Amino acid sequence: MNSETPEQAAQILAKLLTASTPITVLTGAGISTDSGIPAYRDHNGVWQNPPPVQHQQFMQSHKTRQRYWARSLHGWPRLYHAKPNLSHQVLAQLQQRGLIGTIITQNVDQLHQRAGAIDVIDLHGDANTMRCMSCDTLSPRLEMHQQCLALNPHYAALNPEVGPDGDARLEGDFSDFEVPSCQHCDGILKPDVVYFGDNVPRARVERAQTLIAESAGLLVIGSSLTVFSGFRFARQAYQLNKPLILLNLGVTRADDIATHKLSVDIKETLERVLSQL
């Protein structure tokens, strides 16, 4: 593993960003932790929070949905009210200046867009939007949140610890939790995100792969790449013999194929990059 300082890492990134063709950027949970959103894994790639709900469990079990929405009642507001941090802002500025291309994010928090990024692929969707799994109608998640509060006021006073992706550490018997259904067809409402056990839409993957193939390289920021949905892009860059730069505190699944592994503070490094360009 390389042992660059943030200043040295910034010099490497600045040189890469001045290539004639912009690079593609892939971001993970590590870029949003400074915005107060917890990550699932620690720097060693080990789970530090309970695994997220599985797609089939959510769809097949009303009991699972009761538990999910009871916890979400306290976890999702943290996600909804989160503000972009300096790292999001630097990437937005670099994109606006044409120094990076598309940002592919594994996050579902929309913080890149809130920071001003104009070209973002939300690989795993948007946690602030609801989708009916029967009629495909989209609606704001804020409406679902308000309905859950109105139907379950006895849950409002609880104060559990917040987890990743709008979850919270709340256990117990949730059989009395009333879960709203679609107002159009009474179908199951689900956040418009790709849950574990589900597949990223093929068109989304193919667009990301095309962009990487046409770019000067891939810069991965704040992702362990443990999940294949992100790792496949690192592997693609490697197979195309394009620069693969990993900016992440801790191990990643692509450490052995990276052109540079920069295990340094993300925010400090990106701030230095901006000052050098």
- Catalytic residue (choose from 74, 88, 112, 124): 124
pLDDT (tens digit, 9 = 90+) per residue, 14-31?
Answer: 998 988 789 999 999 999
CA gap 185, 139 in Å, rounded? 13
User: Which residue pairs, CB below 8 angstroms and at least 24 apart, start in 145-149?
Assistant: 145/72, 145/73, 145/76, 145/77, 145/80, 147/180, 148/69, 148/72, 148/73, 148/178, 148/179, 148/180, 149/73
pLDDT (tens digit, 9 = 90+) per residue, 46-102?
Answer: 555 566 789 999 999 999 999 999 999 999 999 999 999 999 999 999 999 999 999
pLDDT of residue 160: 81
Q: Which residues are annotated as a binding site?
A: 132, 135, 182, 185
- Tell me the domains of the chain and their CATH numbers: 6-276 (3.40.50.1220)
Residue 124 known to be catalytic: yes
Q: Which residues are annotated as a binding site for Zn(2+)?
A: 132, 135, 182, 185
pLDDT (tens digit, 9 = 90+) per residue, 118-147?
Answer: 999 999 999 999 999 999 999 999 999 999
pLDDT (tens digit, 9 = 90+) per residue, 216-257?
Answer: 999 999 999 998 989 999 999 999 999 999 999 989 999 999
Query: pTM here?
Result: 0.92
